[in-house]
Amino acid sequence: MSDETRSDTYAELAALGPYGVHPGHALITMVEPHPGHEYAYNRWYEDDHYYAGAMAMPWMFAGRRWVATRELQELRYPEKSAVAQPVGAGCYLSTYWVTDGRYDDHMKWTVGINKRLNRDGRVYQDRTHVFTAFQDHEATVYRDGAAGPRDHHALDHPYRGLVLQVIDAEGAGQRSELLEWLRSRHLPKRLGGSPAAMVTVFRPTPLPGDRMTYVKQVEGVDTRLTLLWFLQEDPRECWAEHFTGLDAAVAESGLGRVELVAPFVPTVPGTDRYVNQLR
């Protein structure tokens, strides 16, 4: 068996390259199961794909699934979104951290394993990728400074909700200015006194040319920023006070436009909780 799986190379590879705990990269994937396939999709993802297609891979060290019930979908804005058409599309969100400096190594494995899973009939076809991208970490802004969990804890800490925010800069040359405004001015102000303990900011990277054909190439590689707000409260309890108007605040800066603000709650692994509340 060791000859067939080249086990000896594992010891060699473990001695090479970065192996820190910083989430230098992320996979953020928002998916819509086709009508009538909600239960089957959820069981496939939780029972097989979350592990075989993600967590069992090298350098993907943390993951969490989130879900948007119909009630949560109806809170999303703007109505005309460049990310989700209609804006409520994409009721499941999966987030994963990849070790800093290991993006290329992970991508070689993930392309290979997904080709194998597809060949072996272990890929559920009755779903649509609404927003799927590997992303590079740009910043994390904390509400409480050095107190509390760090960003590498975020997918394991029992946060009660998450808000996905996607912002497009006015142009490629303005994204760095938008990032600096978010990091130094906007996010610290918004986080103060809010139920969000931190916001992580990522920028998307293009998918490899040999990606699976059912995943479309990433848009906005030069202009887009993806924000994940980690909440200590259910988003429904704090939405009106803390998460309306994010689009207006960005527009007023003159640096970009908000294309999606979408709340989620964590799934309960191993269960079909919330599946009957998606439609």
Predicted confidence (pLDDT) per residue in 149-197, tens digit? 999 999 999 999 999 999 999 988 899 999 999 999 999 999 999 999 9
Q: How far is CA 127 from CA 45, 130, 191, 257, in A?
A: 11, 9, 35, 28
Under 8 Å CB-to-CB from 187, ≥6 apart: which residues? 141, 199, 201
Predicted confidence (pLDDT) per residue in 185-243, tens digit? 999 999 999 999 999 999 999 877 665 555 666 777 889 999 999 999 999 999 999 99
Predicted confidence (pLDDT) per residue in 106-136, tens digit? 999 999 999 999 999 999 999 999 999 999 9
The whole-angstrom separation of Cα 200 and Cα 139 is: 6
Does the pLDDT of residue 65 top 90, yes or no?
yes
Global confidence as pTM: 0.95
- Per-residue pLDDT, 210: 60
The whole-angstrom separation of Cα 237 and Cα 220 is: 32
Considering the chain, what percentage of its residues have pLDDT values greater than 90?
89
Overall average pLDDT of the 26-43 stretch: 98
Residues 261 and 247 sit within 8 Å (Cβ to Cβ): yes
277, exposed or middle or buried, with CB in 10 Å at 0-12, 13-18, 19+? middle
Q: Which token pair is 211?
A: 């990606």
